[in-house]
Amino acid sequence: MRILHTSDWHIGRTFHGWSTLDALRTVFDAMIATMRDSQVDVVVVSGDVFDSSTPSSEAVTMLDEVLLGLRQTGVQVVVSSGNHDSAARLGAKAAFAAAAGVFVRTRAEEIAEPVTIRDAHGPVHFYAIPFLDPASMRSLWPETEPMRSQADALRHAMKLVRTDLAERGGRSVVLAHTFVQGAEDEIYDSQRDILGGLDKVAVPVFRGVDYTALGHVHGRMTLDKQIRYAGAPLHYSFAEARKPRGGWLVDLDAHGFAGAQWLDLPVPRPLAELRGTLEQLLSDPGYQKMHDSWVSAVLTDDEQPIGAMRKLQGRFPYCALLRHEPAHRTGDDGASYADLVRGKTDLELIGAFLTRVRNGIATDDAEAELLREVITGYEDRDVRV
């Protein structure tokens, strides 16, 4: 049996305010086109199918289209829910989908009820573990102590899997949407809710099955030859720019795991990170090849240029992110605020403030004269500046 391991589709997500639906459609079309050539039997999606618990109608329609396209190639599909999904909404039509060869598992109560798909060597049991909230699991599994963390919940879930598998026999695949120890290097700023308290599940928790198809981390990663992350189909952060996009082609033979190879999928719009002065970014002919890329620009001008984003988008229509990091920064002498303002006139205070926020560029004579006129005008009206 050959399995395509994917995850974190995040249908409906935006990229710095831009829709990604068209880009995802390109990736899904390529995925569907490769199914027969790659001799895939089953596609698994390890959580975060949608980016929102209330997906738009366009996002729902896209999911229907990609699942239909996959089924038309003859593959079967196993889907689990992630923390971005609404388990209830995603699983609402699970019974009807199963009749069509698309198996959607979103309920913790179903963890020990695998989807069983047969090949020439016998059954392969797919155990789908949705994203588990330990607070909710306490009421479902009251006999389990402790149940303070997601690691506790995953340990119990895998205990259920191994107990059921021991009775059924055969080969096995686990889908799990969680953060496993060792994946720290693949955490990106596109993963808004991973950091800030989510505990790590130890790799040995997933021993005892032939393959573990992980989701939740957006980068490809091999934690063990039989425990892998596939990552997201698109780049959802500039920090992911150099990471490949695709999925794992996992082979099972009569004895279990037989190997895995990476399947590259297209990157519809590459990401580029540019650094320099505004004039350099607008005039350097070497940057012309980034015209159709998502662009993150870092301006090194001493003073932040006015209308920089508008000007950059004139050359790079998909410039999505702009930061100002002056090449020459003023030093901080450590003086307190009281020391900075003591004994200074209003004109000197405003001048010092402008110099500081403009990275050391002092007011010129014309600016000083304008400030003097404004201050004098307020003083004449008995208004303190």
- With vertex at residue 202, the alpha carbon angle to CA 196 and CA 206, rounded to the nearest 5 degrees, is 125
Token pair listed for 196? 């800030």
Q: From the DSSP assignment, how many helices (H) and strands (E) are in the chain?
A: 11, 17
CA 241/CA 233 separation, integer angstroms: 12
Q: Which of 55-59, 256-260, 303-307, 347-351 has the lowest mean pLDDT?
A: 347-351
State the angle between helix axes of 365-380 and 346-357 in degrees (0 to 180), rounded to the nearest 10.
140
pLDDT for 192: 45
What number of other Cβ atoms are within 10 A of residue 311's Cβ? 16
Name the one residue in this structure whose structure tokens are 């090194």.
300
Q: Is 17 helix (H, G, I), strand (E, B) or coil?
A: coil
CA 301/CA 256 separation, integer angstroms: 58
Mean pLDDT of 206-215: 97
Q: Percent of the chain having pLDDT more than 90?
A: 72
Considering the chain, what is the average pLDDT of its residues? 89
Of 8-17, 129-138, 348-357, 358-367, which one has max mean pLDDT?
Answer: 8-17
pLDDT for 46: 98
Residue 331 confidence class, pLDDT cut points 50, 70, 90:
low
Report how far apart, in Å, the C-alpha atoms of 218 and of each of 189, 192, 204, 206, 331 are.
10, 11, 21, 20, 39
pTM: 0.82
Q: Is 212 helix (H, G, I), strand (E, B) or coil?
A: strand
Residues 6 or more apart whose Cβ sits within 8 Å of residue 273: 238, 241, 295, 296, 298
Residue 365 confidence class, pLDDT cut points 50, 70, 90:
confident
Residue 359 confidence class, pLDDT cut points 50, 70, 90:
low
What is the full DSSP assignment across 134-158? HHHHHHHSTT-S--SSHHHHHHHHH
Mean pLDDT of 59-88: 96
Token pair listed for 65? 């289209």
DSSP annotation of 225 reads T
Residue 173 confidence class, pLDDT cut points 50, 70, 90:
very high
Residue 195 confidence class, pLDDT cut points 50, 70, 90:
very low
Q: Which of 117-121, 343-347, 356-360 has the lowest mean pLDDT?
A: 356-360
pLDDT for 194: 46
For the cut 70, the answer to whether the pLDDT of residue 191 exceeds it is no
Mean pLDDT of 98-108: 96
Per-residue pLDDT tens for 270-280? 999 999 999 99
**Is residue 194 within 8 Å of residue 179, measured between CB atoms?**
yes
**Is residue 78 within 8 Å of residue 175, measured between CB atoms?**
yes
